[in-house]
Amino acid sequence: MFGLAPSVTACAALALIVSLVTLVVGWRSWRGEAQTVGPGLEVLCCVVNAAALLFAYHHVFSVGLAARGPTLSRVGLAVSVLLERFGSLMPLTVLLPSLAAIAIALSWAGRMRLVQATPRVGWLVVAVVLFLGSIGAFVSGFSAYTASTTQPTAWQDRVAAAEEARYSLRRGAMVASLAVLAAALAVLQSRRTRRTQSHWAFTVVPTLLFGGGAAALFWYGRSLAAENARPVSMSYAYANTSLSVTPSAGMSGVGPDELVEAPLVLLRGDAIELDGQALKGGVELREGLRRRRALWQDMRKGEHHPGNVIVDASPDVPIKILAERLAHIRDSGHPNLRFRLTDSHTDVRPVLGTIVGSSFSAALVTLATMLGDCGAAPFEVVRLTSRWRSSKELVDAVVAERRAQKRVCVIPAGPHCRGDLADCFSRDFEVIRYAASMDALRARLDGGELDFVFLRGDTRLELLGRGTALAEVQKRTFAFNAPGAEAVRPWTRTENQIDALTFMRVASGPTLLETTTVIPEADDDKAMRTGAGLDADRQLVVFTFSTVPVTRHALATALLAVGCDEAIELAKGTLWVQLPALERTPQAQAFASGPFLALPSHE
Amino acid sequence: MRSERLRAWLVVVSAALFLVALLFHGYHLVAFTEQLMRLAAGALR
């Protein structure tokens, strides 16, 4: 009926029927056409109207709480809910009580005149209408409820739906029993007029009404008391599933970061929503976020836009789609992305029914186009698996890193991947972070886990190969920015370069990269470097590749990744490197504060 | 006469019962509403 919950609608329908019946009977009684009613129907009219109002406010409050709770203050909540629902509440709050008041007044006036007549048939009609009307309202309300929630087909599903709807059922049963009571009273009245007026009949009616009312109030009050005895936990925002309010199915878990005020992007498979507005695709998402950013900037001139955005992805978003969405978000000027995680718990409450509480947290990542965009953070030996297939796997990895106080940098697929996304994801990627000691590196080399290790100092680039003794390693030290640098061939635009650049673009697409700090200046670290023949006081950054086999493309990719994009030429068994820009470029500086590598583990 | 007093008592007792039930229900309804308000305020955090 008024766009409210079925139980409220059923109760309102009953109140309307009772009010109308009271009105008709009262009118006839006042005109002297019918036997007077007695207080029974009037009291019933009041009770049912009050119940309708109670249910309506209860419903509105619960829904409003679920929908508005997280963003509104206490007063704002009450005001907005009332305003928002005023249209649907108006018939209940204005029409029904007015109708009931007029009906009762008429009825009262009629009784005062003590008009004598015997409308037995009329009372029977009233009884039948009340009974059938309320049962009909109850049945239609319940079926509408089940249809609106699950639309079940099998009977097992219907039973399950009924189980979930037991709170509604209970309220429906209350409405139906009120209807039965009304019908019984009506029959009693009609019988009473047939016989000699019994004194007991006048006693039984108010006693039954008071007794029934007391029982109903005790019964409902007991659930309220039970509700108050075990207060709802305050650390969650709730949705009431008994009222067909389903919480959004985001990713579950607890993240290490706080949520901030920012645009909210919902990703559900292919579907995108930006702050509750459904979008058709990634381009719309990018433009929508850009508009938001521009608006923000217009309103706060001179302030720096924080670039925050919240992404709530369902766990099953394929990584291809996710990467494309992230690329669009990044391109819109929102690099500080928080994956929203929902910690939810279900509670079955005596009055509220089944509520699902959600507590939101986040995992913060930086979206970057290239490595230089990522910042620096403390670093430890971490190995990230790189075979993410879904949003869940990626977010799980991010959460684990964030828990360890590390910053996470995500480089999503770039525009070059849009033409053929499959190519961006056809390779497996591996990121291996700084290895703690040279011994550990050598062990991994000897164990076949790694094929090559690069060591980069301020002026040297060193390459360790599998099974290579440390002494031999030093022979393969390449000098740059040093007197012997003339041996390094300058960059020539060969096909290799183009291949390398192309590969770099493809490789950087779906790769999760991590920022790290400089190598800690621990004593054992210095000893390790001295042992490796390196200058212990100079900064050292270690690249580790797990590529099998390392191709020149892979090497070129690695070097490009750290800003060595001015001079690279790779030939069979020989590595020529020139890094003139290493000390100057932002990429190089970013790199100096931590190594990132993302390389194909096979080609 | 006895019957009349009995009937009067019936009405009075049931009315008193109704009043008690009304107070019981009202008390807990108010407490429950306060809880909902706290919940709405708490959700702001």
Q: Percent of chain A beyond pLDDT 70?
A: 35
* Three-class DSSP labels, A23-89: HHHHHHHHHCCCCCCCHHHHHHHHHHHHHHHHHHHHHHHHHHHHHHHHHCCHHHHHHHHHHHHHHHH
Name which of A23-37, A46-60, A169-183, A580-594 the model is least confident about. Answer: A580-594
Assign A478 to helix, strand or coil. Answer: strand
The rounded Cα A537 to chain-centroid distance in angstroms is 49
pLDDT for the residue A521: 41
- pLDDT tens, position by position, A225-270: 998 888 887 777 777 666 666 666 788 888 888 888 899 999 988 8
Interface test with A, best of B2, B7, B28 (most A CBs within 10 A): B28
Q: Are A553 and A603 in contact (CB under 8 A)?
A: yes
CA atoms within 13 A on the CB side of A506: 21
Is B31 close to A228, i.e. CB distance below 8 A?
A: yes
| Residue in A with minimal Cα distance to B34 | A228
pLDDT for the residue A376: 46
| Residues in a beta bridge with A356 | A239, A346
Report the distance separating Cα A249 and Cα A257, nearest Å: 20
> pLDDT band at residue B40, thresholds of 50, 70 and 90?
low
Partner-chain residue, chosen from A199, A207, A221, that has the shortest CB–CB distance to B21: A221
| Residues in a beta bridge with A251 | A341
How many CB atoms sit inside 10 A of residue A172's CB? Answer: 24
Q: Are A247 and A328 in contact (CB under 8 A)?
A: no
Assign A207 to helix, strand or coil. Answer: helix
Is A199 close to B21, i.e. CB distance below 8 A?
A: no
Place of tokens 């929508």: A288
DSSP H or E segment with residue A360: strand A353-367
Interface test with A, best of B7, B9, B25, B27 (most A CBs within 10 A): B25
More confident residue, A89 or B31: B31
Q: In angstroms, what CA-CA distances link A22 with A56, A99, A130, A523?
A: 22, 9, 11, 94
Q: Are A365 and A287 in contact (CB under 8 A)?
A: no
Assign A193 to helix, strand or coil. Answer: helix
Report the distance separating Cα A440 and Cα A433, nearest Å: 13
Return the DSSP state at A479. E
Closest CA to A1 of A183, A138, A164, A166: A138
Q: What is the pTM of this model?
A: 0.43
Q: A365: burial class by Cβ within 10 Å (0-12, 13-18, 19+)?
A: buried
Interface of B with A in 15-34 (CB under 8 A): 15, 17-18, 20-22, 24-25, 27-29, 31-33
Q: Which amino acid belongs to residue A588?
A: A
Q: In angstroms, what CA-CA distances link A179 with A41, A182, B31?
A: 12, 5, 29
More confident residue, A362 or A592: A362
How many CB atoms sit inside 10 A of residue A465's CB? Answer: 14
pLDDT for the residue A291: 92
pLDDT for the residue A263: 92
Return the DSSP state at A261. S
Partner-chain residue, chosen from B20, B28, B42, that has the shortest CB–CB distance to A224: B28
The answer on pLDDT for A294 being more than 80 is yes
Distance of residue B5 Cα from the nearest chain A Cα, in angstroms: 11
pLDDT for the residue A73: 46
Q: What are phi and psi of A566, to 5 degrees?
A: -100, -25
The rounded Cα A183 to chain-centroid distance in angstroms is 49
pLDDT for the residue A212: 83
Is B35 close to A351, i.e. CB distance below 8 A?
A: no
| Residues in a beta bridge with A252 | A342
Is B18 close to A61, i.e. CB distance below 8 A?
A: no
- pLDDT tens, position by position, B8-19: 778 778 878 887
Report the distance separating Cα A594 and Cα A578, nearest Å: 20
For residue B35, the chain A residues in CB contact (below 8 A) are: 227-228, 231-232
The answer on pLDDT for A467 being more than 90 is no
Report the distance separating Cα A374 and Cα A67, nearest Å: 37
> pLDDT band at residue A166, thresholds of 50, 70 and 90?
low
Q: Are A25 and A117 in contact (CB under 8 A)?
A: no
pLDDT for the residue A344: 83
Partner-chain residue, chosen from A65, A214, A228, that has the shortest CB–CB distance to B40: A65
Q: If phi over 0 gives left and psi between -120 and 50 gives alpha, with beta otherwise, what is residue A220?
A: alpha
Report the distance separating Cα B8 and Cα B6, nearest Å: 5
Partner-chain residue, chosen from A74, A227, A234, that has the shortest CB–CB distance to B32: A227
- pLDDT tens, position by position, A181-222: 666 666 666 555 555 555 666 677 777 877 888 898 888 888
ipTM value of the model?
Answer: 0.90
More confident residue, A346 or A448: A346
For residue B25, the chain A residues in CB contact (below 8 A) are: 217-218, 220-221, 224
How many CB atoms sit inside 10 A of residue A294's CB? Answer: 12
Q: If phi over 0 gives left and psi between -120 and 50 gives alpha, with beta otherwise, what is residue A275?
A: left
For residue A72, the chain B residues in CB contact (below 8 A) are: 40, 44
Closest CA to A587 of A436, A434, A368: A368
For residue B4, the chain A residues in CB contact (below 8 A) are: 199
For residue B14, the chain A residues in CB contact (below 8 A) are: 206-207, 210-211, 214
Q: Are A383 and A434 in contact (CB under 8 A)?
A: no
> pLDDT band at residue A38, thresholds of 50, 70 and 90?
low
- pLDDT tens, position by position, A400-445: 888 877 777 776 654 333 333 333 333 322 223 333 345 555 565 5
Name which of A17-21, A334-338, A516-520, B26-30 the model is least confident about. Answer: A516-520
Report the distance separating Cα A148 and Cα A130, nearest Å: 26
Q: Are A379 and A516 in contact (CB under 8 A)?
A: yes
For residue A216, the chain B residues in CB contact (below 8 A) are: 21
Q: Are A175 and A134 in contact (CB under 8 A)?
A: yes
Distance of residue B9 Cα from the nearest chain A Cα, in angstroms: 10
Distance of residue A350 Cα from the nearest chain B Cα, in angstroms: 11
Distance of residue B28 Cα from the nearest chain A Cα, in angstroms: 6
Residue A40 contacts by C-beta under 8 Å, 6 or more apart in sequence? A185, A188, A189, A205, A206, A209
| Residue in B with minimal Cα distance to A69 | B40
Is A211 close to B42, i.e. CB distance below 8 A?
A: no
Q: Are strands A271-274 and A264-268 parallel, antiparallel or unpaired?
A: antiparallel
Taking the CA atoms of residue A34, residue A37, residue A38 and residue A42 in that order, the dihedral angle to the nearest 10 degrees is -150
> pLDDT band at residue A78, thresholds of 50, 70 and 90?
low
The C-alpha angle with vertex A150 and arms to A149 and A151, in degrees rounded to 5, equals 110
Report the distance separating Cα A128 and Cα A180, nearest Å: 10
Residues A537-547, mean pLDDT to the nearest whole number: 35
How many CB atoms sit inside 10 A of residue A346's CB? Answer: 10
Report the distance separating Cα A377 and Cα A379, nearest Å: 6
pLDDT for the residue A599: 30
Is B43 close to A70, i.e. CB distance below 8 A?
A: yes
For residue A205, the chain B residues in CB contact (below 8 A) are: none
- pLDDT tens, position by position, A94-150: 556 666 666 666 665 555 443 333 344 445 555 555 555 555 555 545 544 444 444
For residue A221, the chain B residues in CB contact (below 8 A) are: 21, 24-25, 27-29
